[in-house]
Amino acid sequence: YLPLPGAVSDPWKLMLLDATFRAVQQTCHLIHYLRLSHHLIALNYLICTFDKLKSVSSEDIKITDAVFDGVEVRVFEPPAKGDESLRRSVVYFHGGGWALASARTSLYNNLCRIMAESLNAVVVSVEYRLVPEVCFPEQYHDALRATKHFLQPDVLAEYSVDPSRIAVSGDSAGGNLAAAVCQQLSKDEDLPVRPKLQALIYPVLQAFDFNTPSYQQNMNMPVLPRYVMINYWIDYLNGNYDLAHELLINNHTALNVGRALSFHARLNWTSLLPASFKKNYQPVVQTTGTAGIVEQLPALLDVRAVPLLADDATLARQPRSYVLTCENDVLRDDGAMYAKRLERAGVRVTLDHFHDCFHGCMIFTVWPTDFSAGVQTRNSYIKWLDENL
C-alpha cells in the first residue's frame, strides 16, 4: 500500500520508514517460526541493541536510573536555578504497543531530555515491563506503582519537585497507561498528592470498536495499520491470534454479547465525534456475534486496560487534560472520543489535532528518522505543558 502524496507530511520518508520496519518485523516472525525466540523479543532486541543509550549525564541535564517500588525508571533533572527552589515534573510512559521500545532508547531519551530542558522540569520516564515477559495487568501495575511512589512527599522533596505541579503523560500505549493511572489515582482517597494535568499523545484507549471512522479510514496507514493494532491488543491481553478476525469485525461487542451491551453508549462515536471525523463512514455493529471472546479475554471490558469504558463519575474526577490526535492514525478517534467524554463530564480539555501527521510521529525528530510532523507535534505538546503546568 502507498499513502497518497500530501496525505501526510514527508510521505516518501514515511514509506521508507514503514518498509524498513515491516522488513524487520518479517525477519522477527521468521525467527519466531523457527522457534528461536518470540518475535516481539527479537524485534525489541534489535530496536534496543541499535538504539539503547547508557545513563550519561550532560552539563545541562542530569540523567540517572533508579527503582521506584520495584519498577525501573530513568530520571531527567535540569540544573537547579537560584531563583526557584521547587520544579515542576512529568511522569512519562513510552509507547510501543506495551511490547516494544524503552525509556532508554535514543528516541525517548531525546524526547524526555528536551522536555526537561524546555520545561525546567524533572521528567520520570517509566521502564515498565513488556509483552511477552508479562501481559495485562502487569504493565498497568508497574505504571501505577512507579507513579504512586514518586508522588510520595518525601520522594518529591528528594527531587525538589513542587507537589502541585505534576503531570502524567504518555504516547500511544503509554497514553493508555497514563489515562488508566490517572483514573485509578482519582479514586485513591488516601493519596496525599495528585497530578495537576494529564497529557495523552495519540493514546490507544479502547478495544471495543475496531471500525471507528479512523480505523476504517487508516486501516492500511503506516506505521500502525489496523491489523497490527489488533495484534498488539491480543498480545497485551494474552490472547490468541485466531481471534483477530472476530475482533476486526466487532463480533466481541455484538448486540447479543450481554457483558458488552451496557458499554455501547460510552463508545457511540456517532455522538462523540465531529462531522469532520465521521465523514461518510457507518457504524459496524453486529447483531449476533461471539460472546465467548469476552469470556476468553475479559480484559476487553476492563477499564484498567480500556480507559474509554470508564463511567462518567470517574471521568469527572480527572485532572485538566490534553489529548493530541493525528488525522492519519487508526487511533485518532480513541483520543477524540475520550476528549469529548471528559469535556461532557466537566473536565477542562484541549484536543490538539494535526491534519497531516501520523501515529508515532512525535518521537521521530532525529536523523535519519526526522520528520517535520515530529517537531510540529512535540513543540505543540511542550508548549501546552509549559502554559498549564
Catalytic positions, written as ranges: 172, 329, 359
DSSP, residue by residue, 135-177:
-TTHHHHHHHHHHHHHTSHHHHHHTTEEEEEEEEEEETHHHHH
Residues 176 and 205: their CA atoms lie apart, in Å, by 6
Contact 132/45 with Cβ under 8 angstroms?
no
Pick from 54, 125, 56: which is nearest to 90 by CA? Answer: 125
CA–CA distance from 74 to each of 61, 67, 89, 250, 293 (Å)? 12, 9, 13, 39, 38
Beta-bridged to residue 161, according to DSSP, are: 87
Residue count (the chain): 389
Cell 485532572 belongs to: 319
CB 179 within 8 Å of CB 201: no
Closest to 122 measured CA to CA, from 170, 149, 80, 90: 90
> Rounded to an integer, what distance in angstroms lies between the CA atom of residue 103 and that of residue 106?
8
Helix, strand, coil fractions of the chain, as percent rounded to 5:
45, 20, 35
Cβ-in-10-Å burial (0-12, 13-18, 19+) of 350 comes to middle
Q: Which burial class, exposed, middle or buried, applies to 58 when counting CB atoms under 10 A from its CB (0-12, 13-18, 19+)?
A: exposed
Q: Which three cell numbers stand for residue 346?
A: 466537566
CA distance 154 to 148: 12
Q: How many CA atoms lie within 13 A of 304 on its CB side?
A: 17
Q: How many C-beta atoms lie closer than 10 Å to residue 344's C-beta?
A: 14
